[in-house]
Amino acid sequence: MPPMSTPTLAALSAPRMHPAQDESNQTRPPAPRTQQKAKNEAAADRRKALDAAVTDWIGRIHAEAERLGEEFHLQSRWFLDKLYYGGQDLIHSRPAGNAYNAFYHNKAKELRELGIELPPGGVVALHNEYDEEYEALSKEERAELIASLKEDKANQARSRKQTTPAKTQDFVASCKVLADVFRGMKRRIGVDGFMVAISNDVGFEPKPFIYFSEEEIEKYMTMAVKKWDSTRVAVLVQAFASAGCDVANLTKTSQEKARYIKAEIVQRMNSALEETTGKPDARMEYVHYQSRIVQGLSVVLEGWPLDKLEQPSRLGNSLVLLQKVRDALKDGSCHFRKINKEEKDRLYREWKLKVANGDLVEPTHKERVDKGISHGSRPSNTRHHDDPSDDDGDDEENGSNEPCEDANVAGTSEAATAQGGKKRKRGSKKSASKSKHTRKGGQGASGVETTVVLPDV
């Protein structure tokens, strides 16, 4: 720790420097104490009034819950749970039963087997008649009742015949539970929306269940979507679900279906690779799988359903093969797996050993057809502008390598360059009119060396 420096007398006696402040940044002067005291007292009175109002409101809620419990022979807690949790208890798993329910379940079952008609009051009447017998049960007997009730429920679920009326009853009851959960979410956290529940079984076609948390949402959909009809939308979704929930089944020809499945395979393969590697731009490489996927991204593909790893475009239009690959990617049996450095090095050695033994052919680029053939230098893209200095460059560049047509066409430079077979870069007309230029050309059509003279204009 460095030693502390002792402040000098000059530093202690020097006036303190404060940065200049804008008028806009200056704080407002504090209110007088009397005003602050009055403000605090008003806030305290308001808090007391709010607390009293909330306490009175909660008291009236509990009193109403007690009244409803007496009216419907239920505990007041049931109504309070409906108010506070509103369907949230339906999301979490609950125990199969308790000793009270197990006792009266067995008691009602026993009375039916003896041919005794149950009292019209239901569980309440049974409670009034057999409550003493229930209170006399020990803890062990109550535990046995709970175990027997769980076993009866499980046997009932396995032995119940799934008839159309039973399916309909289950469908309606479950949809009501979903609607209750939706209403609870709206009351607790402010969720709005709609849902459509349909059946995908051709032999079971109940009426679609349509639920909107607000009627205004359905009215809005008729305005937002052209020709919106909730019942028609539900029927269309049910027809699509009955067809297998596969968009490929909506194609008209097998070629269109194959093209759609190929696109779906590519999309699912890339999505699985992105999810495994965490790289949004990762794409599957089939030809360079070992170098770019295994060694480059440190992942391996497991569960490929075909004998050879090939691109979807190489599988042709065989719907059997395409659907086999698509289904494997869809159910997760074909997936990518991350590998560590040791496994990566082992796979690299195995890959290179197969290449060395000839068991695996390393993919290479296709050789050019014109390999080894000289094409000459590429033509320059430089364009000359109207600059007098360009004329000298033309003279030196073209020299004696520019063929001309004939000596008789010395008056026109365009005719002299037309027969040469190469484009000549000509200077501007402005510089050509100031001086004469004599250009040596090649041999013309007659085999005679010619000279072109450009006269002054």
Q: What is the pLDDT of residues 79-128, one digit of tens each?
A: 887 777 665 555 555 555 678 888 888 888 888 888 877 777 666 777 77
Residue 266 is assigned to a structural domain of this protein? yes
Say yes or no: 336 and 264 in one domain.
yes
Which of 221, 245, 269 terminates a domain? The answer is 245
Neighbours of 323 (CB within 10 A): 17
Summarised one tens digit per residue, pLDDT across range 170-197 is 899 889 888 888 888 888 888 899 999 9
Q: Do 191 and 154 belong together in one domain? A: no
Residue-wise pLDDT for 223-276, tens only, equals 999 999 999 999 999 989 888 888 888 888 889 999 999 999 999 999 999 999
Q: What is the number of H-type helices and E-type strands within the chain?
A: 16, 6
- Domain boundary (245, 276, 306) is at 245
Look at 216 and 368; give whichever has higher pLDDT. 216
Same domain, 328 and 291: yes
- In this structure, are 150 and 71 located in the same domain? no
- Which amino acid would we find at residue 236? L
Whether residue 279 sits in one domain with residue 213: no
Is the same domain home to 192 and 152? no
- Domain tally for the chain? 4
| Percent of the chain residues past pLDDT 90, beyond the cut | 30
**Average pLDDT score over the chain:** 77
pLDDT of res. 302: 94
Establish how many alpha carbons lie within 13 A of residue 233's alpha carbon, considering only the half-sphere containing its beta carbon: 16
For residues 177 and 143, state if they share a domain. Answer: no
pLDDT band, residue 20 (cuts 50/70/90) = low
Q: Is 101 a member of any domain?
A: no
pLDDT digits (tens, 9 = 90+) for 273-305: 999 999 999 999 998 999 999 999 999 999 999
- Alpha-carbon distance 80 to 74, whole Å? 11
Do 263 and 299 share a structural domain?
A: yes
Would 63 be classed as within a structural domain? yes
Q: Does the residue 13 lie in any domain?
A: no
337 HSE (CA, 13 A, CB side): 12
Q: How far apart are CA 49 and CA 43, in angstroms?
A: 10
Least trusted range by pLDDT, from 24-33, 343-352, 385-394: 385-394
Range of the domain at 151: 114-160
Residues 215 and 176 in one domain: yes
Would residue 22 count as lying in a domain? no
Q: Residues 171, 155: one domain?
A: no
Residues 149 and 174 in one domain: no
Q: Are 322 and 279 members of one domain?
A: yes
